[in-house]
Structure 1
Amino acid sequence: MAVHVKLLAADLLSLAVHYTSRPPSFTRKGKPVSRAEAVGVVVSRERKDKYLSFLVDDGSGCIPCILWLNHQSDRERDLGVAAEMAREEAAAVQLGKLVRVRGRITAYRGVVQITVGDVVVERDPNSEVLHWLDCVRLAKFCYDPPP
């Protein structure tokens, strides 16, 4: 099971990208990071046939996100379910909505982004502040422990 690291946009966008491996790998202060979770407001949205790209602003920066709508699968039945879920998630991503995004950290044309695994609209207006507090606490005690 992969762990989604709670990160602020400023931290996510400052990850070190290592292009020596395929796909590229990412580190935060020397520690490998492959999946992330972020909470913020959708400030940009562009839908194409195969994907939805959007920006999530958490107050520390804007995180580019991509949600693929044409999932690849070995089983046709799984393909239909995954594609339907992606379309439902894409419909929920609207400008001004507070969302929680989780997914793989990827790079496209040199820009760090989240390839979305799931996105949900947050109903609790406090969730953004609580995410910020979690990020600060985790950075202090887990991600960047004192020497």
Structure 2
Amino acid sequence: MDPTQSAHVKLLAADLLSLTARSAGAGVSRAGRTITRAEAVGVVVSRDRANKFLRFHVDDGSGCVPCILWLNHRQRPGSGGGPSYMDLTAEVAAEHAAAVRLGALVRVRGRVGVFRGSVQITVGDVVAERDANVEVLHWLQCVRLARLCYDVPAPARPRS
């Protein structure tokens, strides 16, 4: 199995936005490798909150990554009114939304998908970074990983 399918792939915005969409529902790929999860670091440059979601863009200097954080988690029916997994998820989503402020440096991780023909990250977690060096370190890691891992053709699957 290709390790890029189960890991958060560190990508610059320019690389993320250049991913090619595979067939409907099959995700996106880079150099023949399927990418399902990604990580980006940058500054929040736009923020649009609705009842069910928070849509925002993260600019890392190479482009703007569209992100969506779903906020409409509901309690499962029949959970007896007590706290449930979904309640905790709603609390976590609210905490993540609070970290997304205009001008804040953030690290975003989530699932890569295509919505209306554009690549976006469906946010799993977002963290406000305190150290401005994080962005430069992310750039260096992205360049190194692209050269050593991501741009190398995926290994051929063994035939059974």
* Alignment check: 8 A CA contact 1:46 1:54 kept: yes
Structure 1 gaps, min length 5: none
SS of residue in 2 equivalent to 1:128: helix
* 1:2 shift after superposition: 2.9
Written as runs of structure 1 = structure 2, the 5 A alignment for 1:61-140 is 61-71=63-73, 77-140=84-147
- The offset of 1:73, in angstroms, is 7.1
Q: Give the partner amino acid of 1:27.
A: S
CA distance in 1 between counterparts of 2:141 and 2:95 reads 28
Q: Is the 8 A contact 1:5 1:37 kept in 2?
A: yes
Quote how far apart the aligned CAs of 1:92 are. Answer: 1.2
Residue 9 of structure 1 corresponds to which residue in structure 2? 13
Q: Name the TM-score, length of structure 1 as normaliser.
A: 0.92
Which sections of structure 2, spanning at least 5 residues, go unmatched?
A: 154-160
CA contact (8 A) 1:24 1:107 kept: no
1:10-49 CA distances to partner (integer Å, 9 max, x unpaired)? Answer: 000000101x34x241100111101000000000000000
User: Alpha-carbon deviation of 1:142?
Assistant: 1.1
- The count of residues paired between Structure 1 and Structure 2 equals 144
* Superposed counterparts of 1:9-48, under 5 Å: 9-18=13-22, 20-21=23-24, 23-48=25-50
Name the larger-Rg structure.
Answer: 2
